[in-house]
Structure 1
Amino acid sequence: MTIAIALRQLIFCVIICLSSYSVMSANFHEYNISTIHEQWMYQYQRSYANDAEKEKRLKMFEEKFYYIKEFNNFANKSYKLGLNKFSDLTMDEVIASYTGIKAGLNDSGQISFSSNIVPARIIHLPVQVDWRLEAAVNNVRWQGPCGVSWAFAGLDAVESFIKIKTGNRVSLSVQNLVDCAATGCKGGHVIDTYKYIIKANGIADEASYPYKEADGTCQHAKNLSTQIKGYKTVPPNDEKQLRVAVLDQPVAAHIAVSAEFIAYKKGIFEGPCGTDLVHAVTIVGYGVDEDGKEYWLIKNSWGEKWGEDGYMRLLRGVKDKRGLCGIAMWPTYPE
């Protein structure tokens, strides 16, 4: 009798589960993907060379759309995904055109610059830091299809440093770096930003040398200003010392990305992402949410429509000393 009852309960459970799955699938496929894709194209001003390309991109978009829906409904994560300007691209395409850290790091994630590593400090740290509240962070920018996140992150750190040090708000030329430092849109490292400014005795402002999202001819003498004397590296793989550094000023960092990172919409991102450093961001603060979850506040160069108005809250205090997405592997700042 007991076995019979248990068997009936099992069969009932299977029927209910399958029914629920069918309803879920039906609800998902009620969407008119072609219409949604057209609306998305209008929103992000996307166009395609021909019908074949559009059909190919529509298929990618559809896969992203349903993955995002399923993730947000069932993944039980502390963050949500959303459609954005990358929703018809593969992850490899995004990394190839919209990130910008070139190969050349050794196994520890570091380029050889040990003389620039600052000594560890032990100080009392506040629970929260947000340099935006001090008007020390400029607006979020859009790097476009140019692998120059290293320059955006580096200049964000420099602009904030100048504001904190002098009180002057400056907007500096990324294009100056694209044309004259490292390998431009083909990628570089954040320290290429600092090295160029030091060597050139300054850098042009954005107004005199505007960004074009492409490589151009170097024009060294264009309203040079904003000098820095050097740069420092936070002790690698040490999130506490990274907090100490961010207490003083925003810090640029190389970081890994993933499909979930690219589609991030809101909340505290907790991975997955690995530690393959391909992108650069600027850490402009840190904090703790209402549930006690610790995070880094990072500024990206993917425009204000990505993430939380161009920012991401990235999980802090993970077991891996390198930090989530390798954020603690190679953080640097100007001085």
Structure 2
Amino acid sequence: MASSLSYSEESMSIEHERWMAQHGFSYENEKVKEARFQIFKDNLEHIERHNQEGKHTYKLGMNKFADLTNEEFLAKYARSSVPSFKVSSNQSFFEYKVMKDVSHSLDWRDHNVVTAIKDQTGCGCCWAFTAVAAIEGIEAIRSGKLTQLSEQHILDCNYEHDGCKGGTIDHAFEFVRKNRGLASDIDYPYTRIQGECSNNKPSSLSSNIIGFSAVPSDNESALLAAVANQPIAVYLDANNFQFYKSGVLTGKCGTNLTHGATIVGYDEEDGVKFWLLKNSWGTGWGDNGFIKLQRNIDVKEGMCGIAMFPLYPNV
């Protein structure tokens, strides 16, 4: 693709039409289409400019979010709320605190612990996807069997009524505990909207947890020890995520925690240590649905607030 910085208006319009066809998009009228085209152009130029600078540890790329402003993107796809309980930085009950030696790198995908990337679509329930990925992980580690579990079950039946407009990861864990189980995705498939609670009978439940714990806040060493034992659910500031494509996300990132994702590993790339996270925006976003965030930065909260409120299910 030629640089968008030198595109003519006509060639930009062709790119927009190609993008619309690729993602199956259409607009209600020409006025709306023109407004979205202007946003598309701005985003494409931003992506091209970033990649051409050649000084970054990560690349940006066009995706299905290309006609959204960053504010619109966050409002629609990053709808988690911070936990409803207080997390102590000196938790004496943190079960992995005595663990001193961990491997240099780990990718839970290599251990049959991570299910395929899912897509929450327009429902702002990243909180449910994050919790489910963590439960799938620990269940696979303990049982040796990886089962794709149901976000829709949590979305429809949780006692806190968290839904597509937002929720918390701890509420998702607490629902599974109180419900004494979670259905599989086959028994309770995802519908993209919050619906009536159904199929919530004991015979349909595939997995259970006895509760959840928090990793000590603002402590990436403790977080590393936890991830070395199981996938960990985290809250994040997703402000810089919209067009992430590959590499390790570095640079400035805030702590406005409105998104959830699940850490499924860690490693180092070109001298930069990173966390590997499973996201819920489909395989067309990011690195086939995953993102690498810089690890061990010089602020206690971690990159994009990753170390502020990590949680994990107990089985």
Normalising to structure 1: TM-score of the pair? 0.86
Partner of 2:131: 154
For the residue of structure 1 that corresponds to 2:280, the secondary structure is: coil
Partner of 2:22: 43
Structure 1 residues 256 and 44, CA, compared in 2 at 3 Å: closer, same or farther? Answer: same
> Which of 224, 246, 250 does residue 205 from structure 2 map onto?
224
- On the 8 A contact 2:4/2:44 being kept in 1, the answer is no
How far, CA to CA, are the matches of 1:127 and 1:26 in structure 2?
Answer: 41
> Which of 78, 83, 98 does residue 62 from structure 2 map onto?
83
For the residue of structure 2 that corresponds to 1:43, the secondary structure is: helix
Match status 1:255 vs 2:231: no
Q: Which letter maps to 1:265?
A: K
- On the 8 A contact 1:121/1:241 being kept in 2, the answer is no
- On the 8 A contact 2:134/2:312 being kept in 1, the answer is yes
- On the 8 A contact 1:261/1:271 being kept in 2, the answer is no
- On the 8 A contact 1:101/1:277 being kept in 2, the answer is yes
How far, CA to CA, are the matches of 1:93 and 1:26 in structure 2?
Answer: 24
For the residue of structure 2 that corresponds to 1:319, the secondary structure is: coil
CA RMSD of aligned residues (A): 1.9
Normalising to structure 2: TM-score of the pair? 0.92
Match status 1:296 vs 2:300: no
Deviations 1:238-295 (A, max 9, x none): 111101000001101000011x321101111014320000000000000011x21100
Partner of 2:261: 281
Deviations 1:133-174 (A, max 9, x none): 111100000001111001001000000111100011111111
Instruction: Give the alignment of 1:193-208 within 5 angstroms.
Output: 193-208=172-187
- On the 8 A contact 2:5/2:45 being kept in 1, the answer is no
TM-fit CA distance, 1:318: 0.4
Partner of 1:126: 103
- On the 8 A contact 2:59/2:247 being kept in 1, the answer is yes
Give the aligned length. 305
How far, CA to CA, are the matches of 2:251 and 2:169 in structure 1?
Answer: 23
> Which of 202, 214, 223 does residue 233 from structure 1 map onto?
214
Structure 1 residues 51 and 170, CA, compared in 2 at 3 Å: closer, same or farther? Answer: same
Structure 1 gaps of 5+ residues are: 1-23
How far, CA to CA, are the matches of 1:248 and 1:178 in structure 2?
Answer: 27
Structure 1 residues 314 and 26, CA, compared in 2 at 3 Å: closer, same or farther? Answer: closer
How far, CA to CA, are the matches of 1:277 and 1:187 in structure 2?
Answer: 12
Q: Which letter maps to 2:16?
A: H
Partner of 1:7: none
Partner of 1:98: 77
Partner of 2:86: 112
Q: Which letter maps to 1:251?
A: I
Larger radius of gyration: 1
Structure 1 residues 322 and 117, CA, compared in 2 at 3 Å: closer, same or farther? Answer: farther
> Which of 166, 176, 180 does residue 143 from structure 2 map onto?
166
How far, CA to CA, are the matches of 1:29 and 1:75 in structure 2?
Answer: 24
- On the 8 A contact 2:152/2:188 being kept in 1, the answer is yes
- On the 8 A contact 1:117/1:235 being kept in 2, the answer is no
> Which of 180, 184, 189 does residue 210 from structure 1 map onto?
189
- On the 8 A contact 1:204/1:223 being kept in 2, the answer is yes
- On the 8 A contact 1:261/1:273 being kept in 2, the answer is no
Deviations 1:60-102 (A, max 9, x none): 0000011111111126110111111111011221122112213
**Structure 1 residue runs of 4+, over 6 Å off?**
none
The percentage of counterpart residues that share the same residue type is 38
Structure 2 gaps of 5+ residues are: none
Q: Which letter maps to 2:94?
A: V
Deviations 1:161-205 (A, max 9, x none): 111000111111111111112321121111112100110110111
